[in-house]
Amino acid sequence: MQVEIILTVNEMEDQLLVGKTAVVIDTLRATSTIVTALYYGAKLVEPKAGIVEARNRGKELKEGTYLLCGERNGIKVEGFDLGNSPLEYQPQVVSGKTVILSTTNGTKTIQRAMLAHRVLIGSLLNRSITMEEAINLGKDLVLCCSGTQGHFSLEDFVTAGAMISYLKNKGIQIQGDDRVQTAWLLYERYADDLVELMSCSQNGSRLVNIGQKADIEFCAQLDFFPLLCYFDGERVYY
């Protein structure tokens, strides 16, 4: 299997996506939150790049059937129902609801990935089931790290490494460049210390500083939610 890692949304050129399986990764926290929301009973998640776009979509839906969710600089958007902490997405809150989600980086990466043959939403929480689907689909794989405002991010890269580790342990022959090798080596070195590693990242330190370290601990739980999540260009569903 040919595997590539894209480090930021800015690297997501069309030819890197077309015909492939894309897995979008925003470990802290957009893709972890999406997987949590769907696992806990949300009907679907609609990722929206902009806040206005999210509000406008809400106006089209019947009151009480949706939640307006998202963050800017890690903090819940004013007037929204929920922020972007997966811990807010409890079953009693999200069950049966359409979650309209707008985040700083993750939702943009998801939308950008839509040119791929299939788009999967990936995180540490659903690592193994997502890789099983990538194997079943039999296409080349592109792991799309969201990064942070155009910059490389450690937590997305180590999550890509966790995915590569799964493939290697399954005996899949991987062709990839040194990014693939480095992500794998990083994961193998820190597999037992993911919370410490991610807390040192730029994004992780920001979350620690706004009192959200519990989110890092939550998002680091490998295979906690065995849920396969697809994006069809508009909605994330399972």
Binding site for ligand MLT (CB under 6 A): 26, 29-30, 71, 74, 84, 103-106
Q: Please identify, using beta-carbon distances, which residue of 28 and 180 lies nearer to ligand MLT.
A: 28
Residue 106 C-beta: closest distance to ligand MLT, Å = 3
Q: Write down the least CB distance from residue 88 to ligand MLT, Å.
A: 11
Residue number with CB closer to ligand MLT (76 or 235): 76
Write down the least CB distance from residue 213 to ligand MLT, Å. Answer: 13
CB of 107 to ligand MLT, least distance (A): 6
Q: How far is the CB of 74 from ligand MLT (least distance, A)?
A: 4
Kindly tell me which of 106 and 176 has the beta carbon lying closer to ligand MLT.
Answer: 106
The CB density around residue 3, as the number of other CB atoms within 10 Å, is 24
The 3-class secondary structure across the chain, one letter per residue, is: CEEEEECCHHHCCHHHHECCEEEEECCCCHHHHHHHHHHCCCCEEEECCCHHHHHHHHHHCCCCCEEEEEEECCEECCCCCECCCHHHCCHHHHCCCEEEEECCCHHHHHHHHHHECEEEEECCCCHHHHHHHHHHHCCCEEEEECCECCECCHHHHHHHHHHHHHHHHCCCCCECCHHHHHHHHHHHHHCCCHHHHHHHCHHHHHHHHCCCHHHHHHHCCCCCCCCCCEECCCCEEC
From the CB of residue 131, how many other CB atoms can be counted at a distance below 10 Å?
A: 23
Least distance (Å) between residue 71 CB and ligand MLT = 5
Q: Which is nearer to ligand MLT, 168 or 235 (CB)?
A: 235
**Residue 30 or 167: which CB sits closer to ligand MLT?**
30
Nearer to ligand MLT, 98 or 153 (CB): 153
